[in-house]
Structure 1
Amino acid sequence: MIRVFMIDDHPLMRTGMRWVLEEAGDIEVVGEAANGRDALALIPTFAIDLVVCDFDLPDTDGLDLTRRLLRQDPERKVLIVSMLERSPIPRRLLAAGALGYVSKTSDPLVVLRAVREVASGRRFLDNALACQVLFDSSPFDQLSPRELEVAMLMVKGESIRRIADSLRVTESTVRTIRSRVFDKLDVRGDASLVYLAVEHGLA
């Protein structure tokens, strides 16, 4: 039996995903969390084979949480499930240590295959995502991991203070990173950043 811990802030999504996974017969959802903080506290209390995690969470994102989960246990297996299908997010997540990435629009059979592959320690991307990871590029590719984290939080509409609290840095540091993001992406403000993110499938 494959034991899964699931992280998603939408109860309906957790219920639907639990049904898809447990109907397969060889997968059991042993625990759930609605945010990164609770997940980091709860996961060590369970014997699990992998974490199935939404990318967009209220207190963090899949990139930061993947890094923190792997710092907690370098052998942990992480599968990200998200609506964001275009680079650089899947590529960055794989580089951060996630073993798999599937879209929430994927067929349930694809999700089941992803869970089984990642639980076995193998990487998994569905075919469309694999092509994008290999061949697509976007202006966001030039951002460092920290710059991308800040950019994605800005796109979500988070304030400087909220971003600083989330990343455990000072507000001055966030402003400096924000300025670098604007320079690298050649945008002049938050609205332009959001427009660029939407254009490249990141929002």
Structure 2
Amino acid sequence: MMTFKGWKKPFSALAGGALSSPARRVLPLLVPALLTACNQVEPSAPPQAEPMPDVVPLPPGLASVLVKGQDFIAYSTTPCFGFCPVFDAVLLADGTEYFNGHQHAAQQGLTRRQLDPAVFRQASQILQQTDFFTLPGNITNHSEDGSGPAEVCQHYRTDGPSVQISARSGQLSKSVDYYTGCSSNSITDRAALASEQLREILRLDELAVSKR
């Protein structure tokens, strides 16, 4: 049986005779480098970038009054079969509110007024409580491609107005088109609650509805 000394000699001979002098100098440096390279673990892939926030559309008459990047809550209504007030409104984080009255609105044209900044915080709480930022963007009596009823609006009545609510709060942004004739499920209930409570906290009927 070959002892430790017995198999050590060939390696000594190889290092001393079979390898040239330059090789003997390079080998001690090369072997550790090869072992290090074999033991290296490939670095993990960099984390995926977060998706960009939704683009929040605003009515043309109000887009020009917004400070770029400022948080806001916008509320717009469409005509109905009747005398529903049609208007656009936007509340900025500092309490500045712009109201643009159209058809059947008590206040016609663009109006600016200053509300308490606490109103914006209260409105933001409404969005959180109703999980507004997780609502579908389309809650109407037609699917987004116009082909027929959307799944979230299986029960609806005709001739009602729609409400468009858009909001940006920090890294969150969302725009929801909600037809008020939609009903009978948790999604439409949340949209209706957000619409009603926002309209009240933003005091929109003070400018939209005629006092009689």
TM-score category, normalised to shorter length: under 0.3
TM-score, with length taken from structure 2 = 0.25
Please tell me whether Structure 1 or Structure 2 has the larger radius of gyration of its CA atoms.
2
Higher helix share: 1
TM-score, with length taken from structure 1 = 0.26
Q: Which has the higher contact order (CA 8 A, sep 6+)?
A: 2
